[in-house]
Structures are given as structure tokens and as C-alpha cells.
Amino acid sequence: MVTSSPPVSPATPASASKRFELLTLGDELLLGLTANGHLTFIGAELGRRGVMLDRNVTITDEAEAIRRQFRESWARADVIITTGGLGPTCDDRTREAIAEVLGQELVFDEGIKQTIAERFARMGRRMTPNNLKQAYRFSRGEVLPNANGTAPGLWAEQDGRVLCMLPGPPNELQPMFREQVLPRLAALGLVRAREAYIQIRTAGIGESALEAKLQPSFDRHGAALSAAFCAHQGQVDCRLSSPSGELNDEALQAIAAECARDLGEDFLCFGHDSLAQVCADLLRAGEHTLAVAETATGGLLANAFTNICGASKFFAGGCVCYSNESKMQLLEVPEDLLSQHGAVSAEAAVAMATGAAERLGADYAIALTGFAGPTGGNEANPVGTIHLALYSHRGVWSRRLSYPGPRPTVKVRAVNAALDWLRRELVKERATAGGNPSARQGSG
């Protein structure tokens, strides 16, 4: 669940009144067979550059539907981005349908053909005639080369409007959007050349507490400063901007640094890094290793770390111990302890964390045991109860948490709580180890 404050006002006066529309094409979206990830990606990328999409329309890839929708969108939007329908097969009709509405010719482009042919040759595959369909571009338009697939993107400026057509596969669309589309839009003054705001990411503090903590800073800078909050699970972002342009980037950065100092340990990073990424950076910087032991979260915590490229540098390993036997076998949790306190207990969590650290030779260990629901649970530990334990060279501690909600929500929240606890411990460690205790600058 995300609750959203009013978005940051676009800080690009030039584009303040421009309307951006995203057309996502494909029956598989309308049938719920695949999620509309293009909206999530493009919406977020534009948002960072100070623009909020005006509208996203998803329609079938049938030619008449495309013509009808595009005609309507072209009449009202200033920038139209389409995704999908550029493939080589006969049901990819977007190029033709849109050319018709624009009154443009499609012309065969030898350069595109050459690039596609080279790609096939490189992969040792034979180019089929239908691939040549992808070599057509608008007569008054440009080509956005595709480094990761055969269909290039198409670009046209006409009637004071911009049309940008992107291929559907995310691994083709995303680099094309970042590397080609955003710079082109920025050059036309339609999006900011850099991020439109500075994002302060926090963890373990609620939205209203965060606002209260930052208010003194905000007050000092008055109306020139705009702050917008956005709460995710266990994490709240605060975006600072200066819609009037009165505060330049340097001034905003100074204010952000001041806010980060005021927040202390609640400060996670500037930008968009995940909790797991911040923990990973801290572990690497301190040359620490980590082990995890899970029951209820069943591998989700280990997966959060192993999603990070180069995780083997700090991640010693993890155990998913559903049965008492596995806790005894893998983590050397004493049978007596389990029978006396139960597998869902602070004692079990502490023993699991200690066992994981010792068996895997790690400096830090996190253990989670609990009932994610919907079944299980007992009087002392109803469904939603999670016992966390954190092991470090400074000691081993436990905490009891309780989350309402369905199984996947409980799992995610428990993992976030565990990550945030580890992060705070690592920040303390860095401070006592003589590192710089002030807020670090995260990567964008």
C-alpha cells in the first residue's frame, strides 16, 4: 500500500502545462495476464523529472481500436508515448495504425534493416521476411536504436506534439527510455535535465512523526521549499523541491543534508535505494558478513539480499527452517529449548540467530520465527506474531512484532523490520568504529 501526498509540482515552467499521455497496448494487459509494468516504470521516471503523466490508457492491439484511441489522444496531449505492438508478426499493427492517423508515410530504412540483419547474424539465426516490417519508420520521423532487440523505437515531432513509440519488452524499453527518450525530452524543455527533487528516504518512522521532525527545517526556508511525503511499507520518502526555482540545486542539497542530520538513524538514504541495498553497502563498507535464519518469511529475507548483484561478497548464507528438526540440524538449536519455549519464541529466535552466525562464520545474523498465517498461531503467539533476533559481536537481542493482514503482507513487513534493525545496528557500529556518523549520501 502506498499513500501519496500531492505530488511535487513540476519544477519545469516550460512543461508545466504540457500533457503527457501513455498508451499501453496489448490484450495480455486487459486480460490481466501480465502487469502493466510500463506504467510503473515510465510514470516513475517522468515523476523524477518533474512531470506527472496526465493519463494512461490501455487498449487492445486491434488496428481500429488503436486508430480511434490515438486520434483522441493526439488531439489532447502534447507528448504521447506508446508501448508495444512493434513486433514482426501480423498482429503488430501499431506502426501502421498510427501512421494513418498522423497522415505520415512509412518508409523503409536501410539502416534499420542492416542493424536487424547484423543482430541475427551475431546470434547465428536466420532473419525471416516478417522482420523487415520492423525496418519501417515515419517519413518525417526518427529512429531510436534498440541495443537489446530487433524493433527500434520511433520518434516524431508534428503539429507541435511529440510522439514516441517504444517496443514492449521491458529489457528493450527501459534502457531506450533512460538513454534516448529522457535526453530528447529534456532537450525540448519538456522534462527537467536532472531529478526535479531531492528524495530523502527514511525507515522505521511514520509519516506524521517524520513531518514533525523536519518541520523546523522547513520553517526556516518558508514558501520557497516544497515537501511531499510518500509512505511505503515501513518506509517514508520525503521529496524536497523548489517549484518557484527560488532555491537552486545547491541550496536544496544543503537543506536535504540538514534534514538527514536531524533525522539521525531514521535517515535511510538520498534517492531510491532499497533497505536491503543500504544494508549491503554498510556490510561491504565495514567488511562484515551476514547470515540469516528464517521460518515464517521462508526465504524472502535471503532473497532480498541475493537480489543484490555481488551479494556473495557479504552474504554468508541462510537457512529456512520450517521444522524443529531443521532448526536442530542446521542451526544447532537445542531440542530442550524448542520443547520448553516453542519454535515461535524469543528464545528460539535468539538460538537461531546465534546458530546461523556460528555455523556460517558470519559477524552478523538475523533470525525470524513466527506465524505468517492464515493458519497456525496459539494463544501466546497469535497469527501475525513474529519474533526477530539480531546477532552481532556486541551481543544478541530479540524483539517481538505483530502484524495484521494476509500472509504476503506479514512476510514483507517482517522482512522490512528485520532489515531496518540490522541497518540501525550497522550505523551504530560504523559510528563507534570511528567512521563518519553523519548521514551518508546514497546513490541515486
Q: Which of residues 87-106 bind a second copy (CB under 8 A)?
A: 91
What's the CA angle centered on 200, arms 194 and 203, to 5 degrees? 145
Residue 182, SS3 per DSSP: helix
Q: Which is nearer to a second copy, 45 or 142 (CB)?
A: 45
Q: Which amino acid is at 95?
A: R
Residue from 6, 103, 124, 160 touching a second copy (CB under 8 A): that is 6
Q: Which is nearer to a second copy, 96 or 332 (CB)?
A: 332
The torsion of the CA quartet 406, 411, 415, 421, rounded to 10 degrees, works out to 60
Q: Is 81 in the site for a second copy (CB under 8 A)?
A: no
The CB-of-299 to a second copy minimum distance in angstroms stands at 3
The CB-of-141 to a second copy minimum distance in angstroms stands at 26
What's the count of helices (H) and strands (E) in the chain, helices before strands? 15, 18
Q: Is 428 in the site for a second copy (CB under 8 A)?
A: no
Residue from 13, 14, 16, 52 touching a second copy (CB under 8 A): that is 52
Q: Which is nearer to a second copy, 204 or 373 (CB)?
A: 373
The CB-of-420 to a second copy minimum distance in angstroms stands at 19
Determine the Cα–Cα distance for residues 209 and 206; give it in Å rounded to an integer: 5
Kindly identify the residues of this chain, within the stretch 171-190, that bind a second copy according to CB under 8 A.
Answer: 171
Q: Site mask, a second copy, residues 104-143, x = CB under 8 A?
A: ----------------------------------------
Q: Is 319 in the site for a second copy (CB under 8 A)?
A: yes
Residue from 53, 143, 251, 412 touching a second copy (CB under 8 A): that is 53
Residue 19: Cβ-neighbour burial (10 angstroms; 0-12, 13-18, 19+):
middle
The CB-of-149 to a second copy minimum distance in angstroms stands at 12
Q: Is 437 in the site for a second copy (CB under 8 A)?
A: no
CA atoms within 13 A on the CB side of 260: 22
Q: Which residues contact 360 (CB under 8 A, 6 or more apart)?
A: 289, 291, 316, 317
Q: Which stretch binds a second copy (CB under 8 A): 254-262, 263-271, 275-283, 356-364?
A: 356-364
Q: Is 274 in the site for a second copy (CB under 8 A)?
A: no
Contact of 164 with 42, CB cutoff 8 Å:
no
Size of the site for a second copy (CB under 8 A): 84
Q: Is 60 in the site for a second copy (CB under 8 A)?
A: yes
Kindly identify the residues of this chain, within the stretch 219-238, that bind a second copy according to CB under 8 A.
Answer: 230, 232
Q: Is 80 in the site for a second copy (CB under 8 A)?
A: no
Q: Is 253 in the site for a second copy (CB under 8 A)?
A: no
Q: Which residues contact 352 (CB under 8 A, 6 or more apart)?
A: 293, 319, 321, 327, 331, 333, 367, 369, 389
Determine the Cα–Cα distance for residues 428 and 353; give it in Å rounded to an integer: 19
The CB-of-352 to a second copy minimum distance in angstroms stands at 12
The CB-of-220 to a second copy minimum distance in angstroms stands at 28
Determine the Cα–Cα distance for residues 238 and 252; give it in Å rounded to an integer: 13
Q: Is 322 in the site for a second copy (CB under 8 A)?
A: yes
Closest C-alpha to 56, from 29, 32, 33 = 29
Rg over CA atoms, the chain? 26
Residue from 361, 431, 438, 443 touching a second copy (CB under 8 A): that is 361
Q: Which is nearer to a second copy, 328 or 401 (CB)?
A: 328
Kindly identify the residues of this chain, within the stretch 278-317, that bind a second copy according to CB under 8 A.
Answer: 291-292, 296-303, 305-307, 309-312, 315-317
Q: Which residues contact 319 (CB under 8 A, 6 or more apart)?
A: 292, 293, 294, 326, 330, 331, 352, 356
The CB-of-133 to a second copy minimum distance in angstroms stands at 17
Number of residues in the chain: 444
Kindly identify the residues of this chain, within the stretch 393-422, that bind a second copy according to CB under 8 A.
Answer: 405-408
